[in-house]
Chains A and B, each alone.
Chain A
């Protein structure tokens, strides 16, 4: 799988990221790009012994910007498929294979992970967050004209073509919704596929709240001009 690159944006992540990297390698993904988004902890020394490509933002820019750096780097290094993956251990590397298969076999441009396509995984999402994400879905429907079941999910598998075409501008959390609206704008072939989720205390603390939702709305608004 030398043509698959996994991009992990990371900001002040702890040792969980080592498990994430180990999980990816166990499943055969060895091209791993970690974008250290100006972390103030010891993330870079944590990753020193790891066989990953480490790109470092000198100042914190936000997840959207970190993903942009990682995706660009993957393209430069000749990736045919790019996987966007979280550093907090919520996503499972075992889901990638299925998404890649779909992308290749159905000739798609992008496969998006969704937690809400099966009851089993959607029940794992805390109620308050489910409500917030439902709000996000409605917002996207009304203002962006797109309807996806899991608007803030960062699990994506992109073809090279999709990665080249999706030029999101949001530096922060709004990139997720922006990517969804860009998929429509650029007429990319997409598919939503159910993915597993594994919450921990750590990852729940890293998640987004109502304040972030307001910031996302503002960023989406201002990036329109």
Chain B
């Protein structure tokens, strides 16, 4: 095994242990943690047996395992960015609701004050 494999195994194991403690402390819901479990576990498997990626790559018709990983990462990154856009949009809408609510409440206060004054 080369040095890179050891590094990957240590990093992924660390992430898995961290995830485990997060679940125990209930910082993260079990159902949401499954995808991270799968991801880090896959990293460990690939680090121990890199040939697996070549076999997978051959199945989907891509020449090398390393290429497959890069393609897959690109797709995942695009999806994540899109998800961030959607979340931002939701937050923007929530912010505008709050701003609108504040503005309307202020008007009510002014109307009430004017009535009291009269």
Contact = CB atoms under 8 A, between A and B. Distances in A.
Interface string A49-85: 0000111111101100100110011001000000000
B106 A65 contact: no
B88 to A, nearest CB: 9
Interface in B59-114: 85-86, 89, 92-93, 95-96, 99-100, 102-104, 106-107
Nearest to A225: B86
B102 A171 contact: no
Given A61-B95, A171-B92, A55 B104 contact: yes
Interface string A115-130: 0000000000000000
A145 B85 CA distance: 25
B39 to A, nearest CB: 24
A68 B103 contact: no
Nearest to A61: B96
Interface in A116-158: none
B96 A68 contact: yes
Nearest to B83: A225
Contacts of A191: none
Given A58-B102, A65-B99, A68-B100, A53 B89 contact: no
A122 B70 CA distance: 53
Determine chain A's interface SS by DSSP, over half rule.
mixed
Interface in A31-62: 35, 38, 53-59, 61-62
Contacts of B96: 61-62, 65, 68, 171
A189 interface: no
Contacts of B100: 57, 61, 65, 68-69, 72
A53 to B, nearest CB: 6
Given A61-B96, A169-B93, A171-B96, A55 B86 contact: no
A59 B86 contact: no
Given A222-B85, A225-B86, A56 B103 contact: yes
Contacts of A223: 89
Contacts of A68: 96, 100
Interface of A: 35, 38, 53-59, 61-62, 65, 68-69, 72-73, 76, 169, 171, 222-223, 225
18 contacts: A55-B104, A55-B107, A56-B103, A56-B106, A57-B99, A57-B100, A57-B103, A59-B99, A61-B99, A68-B96, A69-B104, A72-B100, A72-B104, A73-B103, A171-B92, A222-B86, A223-B89, A225-B86
Given A55-B104, A58-B99, A73-B103, 14 more contacts: A38-B99, A54-B107, A55-B107, A56-B103, A57-B100, A61-B96, A61-B100, A62-B96, A69-B99, A69-B104, A73-B107, A169-B93, A171-B92, A171-B96
